[in-house]
Copies of this chain bind each other. A is one copy, B any other.
Amino acid sequence: MEKPILVFQTDFTYKEGAVCAMYGVVKSVDRSLEIIDGTHEIPHFDTWSASYRLSQSMEFWPKGTIFISIVDPGVGTARKACIARTKDGYYVVTPDNGSLSHVKYNVGIEEVREIDERVNRLQTTLGTSVFHGRDLFSYCAARLASGIITYEQVGPAYPVEEIKVHRITEGTFSGSRAEGMMEIDDPNFGNLWSNIRSELLLAHGISYGDLVQVTIHHKNETVYQENVPFVRTFGNVKQGETLLYTNELMKASMAVCLGDFKGKYNLGYGEDWTITIEKSN
């Protein structure tokens, strides 16, 4: 059987030798393993983003792919190091610190096992506790991918209910308007993505081409309110115009055409940022 691909995401950047050391560990376990960069530019210590990014691209990969996610502000403390198996057949190697939230919410976790450090930790670096990405996660992931250990040999299973998660809500429609949260940004282009599925808008009589009133709250304060067109894509509006569009995950999202919506209005994402959408009068 073909060995699974290892896809890495971290908040390490490529500025120093950490990623290089991790990949060396993998190749020393099994030269034939295939490594792909997911990203090494997760915002520092941001387990919410780590969780979101895992969920964003996982479904496009072959079943069995092993994702290694290392955003680990609590490295060396009591937080568990684990490997989760999702209900749709992927593996995630990660500190159990909220990084599994979206995958658990959207797809479900079939089983989770704590990595047994006595067996699945690199033995040559026992004097340090600060780089589990190299010494524990990469090493154990490579052993699993290579077939040196089975999933059961990762370590003892623990209840899926004990996995640490961030609070995630569902985008809903009630009365004349949709309500949801600003779930994440597209940091490259300054777009903000809600968790409201566009088909929910379409099912409730809001059509492409309609003008909609979008209101964004930070905690209890209204920080943005405007009437904008609901369109399929950026090309449907003029440069500099704000739009509500359907993003690549088919969620209602805000952008300024060829501009930076998030920066222009100084907005953010996460549990404190909510959005409502309704047809303009």
Do the beta carbons of A60 and B21 come within 8 Å of each other?
yes
The size of the chain A interface, using a CB distance under 8 A, is 73
When all copies of this chain in the complex are counted, the total is: 3
For A57, list chain B residues within 8 Å (CB): 17, 20-21, 24
For A61, list chain B residues within 8 Å (CB): 24, 27-28
Binding site for B on A (CB under 8 A): 2, 5, 7, 9, 11-25, 27-28, 31, 35-41, 44-45, 53, 56-62, 65, 73-77, 125, 127-131, 134-135, 184-189, 198-199, 232-236, 245-250, 258
Which 3 A-B pairs have CB atoms at the shortest separation, nearest pair first? A76-B233, A77-B235, A24-B60
Main secondary structure of the interface of A (DSSP, over half): loop
Considering the chains assembled together, what is the distance between the CA atoms of A39 and B44 in angstroms? Answer: 19
Q: Which among B15, B40, B131, B234 is the interface contact of A76 at CB below 8 angstroms? A: B234
Do the beta carbons of A73 and B234 come within 8 Å of each other?
yes
Considering the chains assembled together, what is the distance between the CA atoms of A63 and B57 in angstroms? Answer: 31
22 contacts between A and B (CB under 8 A): A12-B188, A13-B41, A14-B40, A15-B41, A16-B39, A16-B185, A17-B38, A17-B56, A20-B39, A20-B53, A24-B62, A60-B134, A75-B233, A75-B234, A75-B235, A76-B236, A125-B248, A127-B199, A128-B246, A129-B232, A129-B246, A130-B245
Do the beta carbons of A130 and B39 come within 8 Å of each other?
no
Nearest Cβ on chain B to A74's Cβ, whole angstroms: 5
Considering the chains assembled together, what is the distance between the CA atoms of A270 and B258 in angstroms? Answer: 20
For A20, list chain B residues within 8 Å (CB): 7, 9, 36-39, 53, 56-57
For A23, list chain B residues within 8 Å (CB): 36
Residue of A21, A53, A60 with most partner-chain B CB within 10 A: A60
Nearest Cβ on chain B to A103's Cβ, whole angstroms: 13
